[in-house]
Amino acid sequence: MKSKILKIITLCLILMSIALVSIGCQKSKEDEQTNKTEDVSKVDKKTNKKEDKKVKKKIVVGQNGGICQAPLVMAYEKGFFKEEGIEVELLKGDYPTLRDGLATGKVDVSDGLVVTWLKPIQNGLDINFTLGIHTGCISVVVPKSSKVKGFEDLKGKTIGVSGGIGGGSMNFGYRSILRDGLNVKDYNWKDFPAQQLITALEKGEIQAAITGDQTAHAWIESGKVNVIRSSTHDEDYKDEYCCLLGIRGPIVRDEPEVAEALTRAVLKAAKWVNENREETAKIMVDKQHVNGDYEYNLNLLKSYNYKPSISGGKEAIRTSIDELKQLELFDKNIDIDKETEKIYKELKNVE
């Protein structure tokens, strides 16, 4: 009897041991699964944290349909913006459209002539420049039959400009007159839409015209005009950056990582354009980013120096402010260096 009871007790103990081992194994598996879940969670958090650092932003890029703005478009077409985590909408418009868009936040970034943008900035337009993109792009022309060789011969005459009185073309004329040691008060000025300048020249309404090469190049090619001053070819201009990358001030101040990403993308694109001009011209024409045929736009591209420069952009701002101050278009008491630092921002993480 005692032996039978002992056997029953032993059996119970064995069963309890098996149960405890089973529970332990199950617990071990659960703990292992929990640990795996915790490890995955940590990895996910790390991954998410890393992804959070990557710029994810939708940006409106404004361009005016000129071939000189090819780096902006190529940054979009060749994926340089996308590499930086930026989703881009391209908006084509004339200078007033882009200026007003930047002022109201409908446009976030564009590029353009330094002398076109400086006066609006003085009047309150909140943008900063971050990169010199290329040199060149404005010409002063006279009729082929004209005996005018320079601004000295135009004293008392009327000069037609595009972009408005006080705009980029006129300011280029002002700066050239200053550099030639002459007085801007000796000249008359009249504004025309760019394409109408050639007609005004032929009718004798104006004796010279100043406009962008996108328009003037056709007149030069057809033999209708002579060039008397050029920001593309003249020794005192050919190494000066004319077009800079402009970004809305709030982005530069409040979202510096976005401003840096934009600048890096356009810098890469400008270098790409410099090395791939034929493909650039083809894309720009085929996708109707510009007017004119392939050969016309390729010839223009070949005349520009697409070697982006941070220091070159800053120096262009400083030079322009200095000359506009001499011309009394800026406050005579303005500190050139401080104003340059205010307008042009050298961003971190951009090389």
Asked whether residue 53 carries a pLDDT value surpassing 60, the answer given is no
Indicate the length of the chain as a whole number: 351
CB 140 within 8 A of CB 208: yes
User: What value does the mean pLDDT take over residues 151-166?
Assistant: 96
DSSP 68-100: GGHHHHHHHHTTHHHHTTEEEEEEE--HHHHHH
Question: Residue 10: its pLDDT value, please?
Answer: 47
Give pLDDT, residue 57: 82
Mean pLDDT of 153-182: 96
Query: How much of the chain is in helix, strand and coil states, percent to nearest 5?
Result: 55, 20, 25
Fold matches, 57-136+239-343 and 138-230? yes
Complete DSSP assignment for 289-344: SSSS-HHHHHHHHHHS----BHHHHHHHHHHHHHHHHHTTSS-TT--HHHHHHHHB
* Mean pLDDT of the region 24-34: 42
Structure tokens at 246: 């402009």
Task: Output the average pLDDT for the chain.
Answer: 87
* Mean pLDDT of all residues in 89-96: 92
Distance in angstroms (rounded) separating the CA atoms of residues 324 and 171: 8
Q: What are the E-state strand segments in the chain?
A: 57-63, 86-92, 109-113, 127-135, 138-143, 158-161, 188-191, 208-212, 225-230, 241-248
Q: Are 201 and 158 in contact (CB under 8 A)?
A: no
Distance CA 175, CA 123 (A): 20
Distance of CA 264 to the CA centre of its chain: 10
pLDDT tens figures, 290-346: 988 999 999 999 999 999 999 999 999 999 999 999 999 999 899 999 999 999 999
Q: Which residue has the higher pLDDT, 340 or 50?
A: 340
3-state SS, residue 180: coil
Domain ranges (residues) in the chain:
57-136+239-343, 138-230
**Fold topology of 57-136+239-343:** D-Maltodextrin-Binding Protein; domain 2 (3.40.190)
CA-only gyration radius of the chain, Å: 32
Helix H or strand E encompassing 184: none
Model confidence at 113, in pLDDT bands (50, 70, 90)?
confident
Res 124: pLDDT: 94
> Which pLDDT belongs to residue 190?
98
Report the pLDDT value the prediction gives residue 351, as an integer from 0 to 100: 83
Percent of the chain with pLDDT over 70: 84
Cα dist. 335→124, 178, 181, 240, 330 in Å? 17, 20, 23, 21, 10
Inform me whether the pLDDT recorded for 164 exceeds 50. Answer: yes
The pLDDT assigned to 149 comes to 97
Top-confidence residue, 185 or 8? 185
Second CATH level (architecture) for the domain 138-230: 3-Layer(aba) Sandwich (3.40)
Instruction: Find the mean pLDDT for residues 261-273.
Output: 98
Task: Identify the pLDDT of residue 334.
Answer: 94
pTM: 0.82
Is the predicted pLDDT of residue 243 greater than 60, yes or no?
A: yes
pLDDT: which is higher, 208 or 51: 208
